[in-house]
Structure 1
Amino acid sequence: MSSKAPAWVVPVMRTGYAARGAVYTVVGGLALLAAYKGHEAEGTTSALATLRDETWGIPMLWAIAFGLVAYTVWRLIDAAMDLETHGSDAKGIIARTGQVVTGLIHGGIGISVAGLALGQSSGGEKASDWTAKVMTLPYGPWLVIAAGLVIVSAGIFYVHKGVVGRYKRSLRETSLTERLDPVIKFGFIAHGAVVALTGAMLIYAGFTTDPQQAGGIGEALQHLRSVAYGRVLLGVVALGLMSFAVANLVGAVYRVVPARAGPDIRTLAMQARAKAEQAVS
């Protein structure tokens, strides 16, 4: 399959990860500021809307929008051509379906960011709005619960990816990636926790048939802030989201596509296996 992959897929991938890194830099940075000053945490679109007040904000928004659409293109091609060699068994199909879903989600965010660049309101349709619409459908609450379970599963996947270091399979071994490995690990775990929390909120909304219980990243961060020691917890998660931004920015430079990587490419996973074998011997 790799021989059929278009040559431009790698630069498109790198553009996408760079944009994703920019998004989480802004979201994580504002969440950290909210934890420090006691303000409300912002969701993705609301956080990016703050860029419009900067002199370079509009060009930056267009660049992020373009990059997120590029990320969508990368994920769709990645899943269709199995560029990360997940395979076609049940586990592989689930992984590739997840790639399509995450790609489309980021494409939607990219369209919203383009709207911000054009001067549209940052409010948009909230998670509670579309949840209310879904609940009007036959078996609507159950559809909401099912969507929540999928999102929770995605969050658990990110946490697992960080804990076991699965991301190392796609990162080139360099002195920089080796030094930043703990930051990248923390980023995946924190991001997964936030994603799982948004899914749990959606499940709760389905069980209570109350759309207002649903929410995105902003609402999830606000929920963390409302619990005991919430500002401390929010600060830790904010640092985690900024670490996830680092993971994406590193990926924009050092990520490899397994199906296209040559035999001379050495990843962090290969390095880890070599160290483990050396320790045993």
Structure 2
Amino acid sequence: MGDARGLRRARGDLYDHRGLALLAAVKSTQASGTKDALAALRDEPYGIPALIAIGIGLLAYLVWRVAAGVKDVEDHGTDAKGLIARLGQVTTGLIHGGIGVSVLALAMSGKNSGGSSAQDWTQKLMSMPAGRYIVAAGALILLGAGIYYAYKGWSGKYKGHLARTQFTESIDPIVKVGLIIYGGILGLVAFSLGYAALTANPAQAGGLGEALQSLRGMAFGRFLLGGAGLGLIGFAVYNFVEAGYRVVPKFSDPDIRTLLD
């Protein structure tokens, strides 16, 4: 469980929009895109070491997810459902590893064009043969991930993967809300990518920052944006809790109690 604990700490570094969402809700500022958020972090005191730590954490997450998928450390099995779950582990690991390389490159070079990384990648994909279909498929996968996270939080399925302690019991409500809200925000990003594929317009694609900004434009948007920011903090809490209390079948004590027990 120790190896899994160290590698899963990377998850806590993936979500740099939590504070930005709350700031945008309180002040008349916009929730920036990922690249802008990282560039802003670089200009802060100790920003470069922070970016390096985030990049290394993302690469560690890559190693963990690929190893978990290949070695099946969570006992998903070799049937169709299990293979899909393991492929999902490897895929998410590769995606976050690519983000980690980009973060390290930003830390080393300091160059950033600003704007939305989602738009950049969508434009590159659409320039490829069948690019619109690739983007549409990505939107469906992201929508599925959003539904999965929301369902995971609503149903309490995540509790079967967390060891029961006084701490995990006390933090459980925050984890639940964080998963549900994060799933909803992923759904917003998926819809923006899907619309970009439908209209063949990469400018319609938005990342997490753009999804948060769209909330601000709605009725009671400031309250929705503040709630989204708190929800993302809850999701970050979930990842940190998972880093220390995740029950990994092939490494954990088989008699360990979970939050479902």
**TM-score when normalising by structure 2:** 0.92
How far the C-alpha of 1:115 sits from its partner, in A, is 1.9
One-letter code of the match for 2:38? L
Within the candidate set 33, 55, 59, 2:23 is matched to: 33
CA–CA distance in structure 1, aligned partners of residues 14 and 138 of structure 2: 24
One-letter code of the match for 1:58? I
One-letter code of the match for 1:246? V
Question: 1:234-253, CA deviations, whole angstroms, 9 ceiling, x for partnerless residues?
Answer: 11111100111111111121
Moved more, 216-225 or 235-244: 216-225
The 3 A distance-change label for structure 1 pair 115 and 17 is same
Question: 1:172-205, CA deviations, whole angstroms, 9 ceiling, x for partnerless residues?
Answer: 1100000111111111111111112111111111
Count how many residue pairs are aligned between Structure 1 and Structure 2. 260
Task: Report the equivalent of 1:278.
Answer: none
* 1:256 is aligned to 2:247: yes
Question: 1:92-112, CA deviations, whole angstroms, 9 ceiling, x for partnerless residues?
Answer: 222222212211121122112
CA–CA distance in structure 1, aligned partners of residues 23 and 120 of structure 2: 28
Task: Report the equivalent of 1:113.
Answer: 103
Moved more, 194-203 or 171-180: 194-203
Within the candidate set 86, 95, 112, 1:96 is matched to: 86
Could you tell me which runs of 5 or more consecutive residues in structure 2 were left unpaired when the two chains were aligned. Answer: none
How do 1:17-32 and structure 2 match up within 5 A? Answer: 17-24=8-15, 26-32=16-22
How far the C-alpha of 1:139 sits from its partner, in A, is 2.9
One-letter code of the match for 2:182? H
Moved more, 28-37 or 87-96: 87-96
Question: Given that residues 16 and 69 in structure 1 are in contact (C-alpha distance below 8 angstroms), is that contact kept between their aligned partners in structure 2?
Answer: no
Question: Given that residues 33 and 117 in structure 2 are in contact (C-alpha distance below 8 angstroms), is that contact kept between their aligned partners in structure 1?
Answer: no
Identity across the alignment (%): 53
Question: Given that residues 69 and 86 in structure 2 are in contact (C-alpha distance below 8 angstroms), is that contact kept between their aligned partners in structure 1?
Answer: yes
Could you tell me which runs of 5 or more consecutive residues in structure 1 were left unpaired when the two chains were aligned. Answer: 1-9, 272-281
Question: Given that residues 169 and 268 in structure 1 are in contact (C-alpha distance below 8 angstroms), is that contact kept between their aligned partners in structure 2?
Answer: yes
* 1:202 is aligned to 2:202: no
How far the C-alpha of 1:228 sits from its partner, in A, is 1.9
Task: Report the equivalent of 1:77.
Answer: 67
CA–CA distance in structure 1, aligned partners of residues 31 and 3 of structure 2: 31
The 3 A distance-change label for structure 1 pair 257 and 45 is farther
How far the C-alpha of 1:50 sits from its partner, in A, is 2.8
CA–CA distance in structure 2, aligned partners of residues 33 and 80 of structure 1: 40
One-letter code of the match for 2:61? Y
One-letter code of the match for 2:132? P
Moved more, 184-193 or 123-132: 123-132
Task: Report the equivalent of 1:190.
Answer: 181
The 3 A distance-change label for structure 1 pair 75 and 146 is same
CA–CA distance in structure 2, aligned partners of residues 118 and 58 of structure 1: 8
CA–CA distance in structure 1, aligned partners of residues 127 and 199 of structure 2: 14
> Secondary structure at 2:17's aligned position in 1?
helix
Task: Report the equivalent of 2:127.
Answer: 136
The 3 A distance-change label for structure 1 pair 175 and 67 is same
Question: Given that residues 31 and 41 in structure 1 are in contact (C-alpha distance below 8 angstroms), is that contact kept between their aligned partners in structure 2?
Answer: yes
CA–CA distance in structure 1, aligned partners of residues 53 and 128 of structure 2: 37
Question: Given that residues 42 and 110 in structure 2 are in contact (C-alpha distance below 8 angstroms), is that contact kept between their aligned partners in structure 1?
Answer: no
**TM-score when normalising by structure 1:** 0.86
Moved more, 212-221 or 38-47: 38-47
How do 1:1-281 and structure 2 match up within 5 A? Answer: 10-24=1-15, 26-123=16-113, 126-269=117-260, 271=261
One-letter code of the match for 2:91? V
> Secondary structure at 1:200's aligned position in 2?
helix
Moved more, 259-268 or 187-196: 259-268
The 3 A distance-change label for structure 1 pair 53 and 33 is same
Moved more, 127-136 or 73-82: 127-136
Task: Report the equivalent of 1:274.
Answer: none
Question: Given that residues 146 and 187 in structure 2 are in contact (C-alpha distance below 8 angstroms), is that contact kept between their aligned partners in structure 1?
Answer: yes
CA–CA distance in structure 2, aligned partners of residues 197 and 13 of structure 1: 31
CA–CA distance in structure 1, aligned partners of residues 253 and 2 of structure 2: 17
CA RMSD of aligned residues (A): 1.9
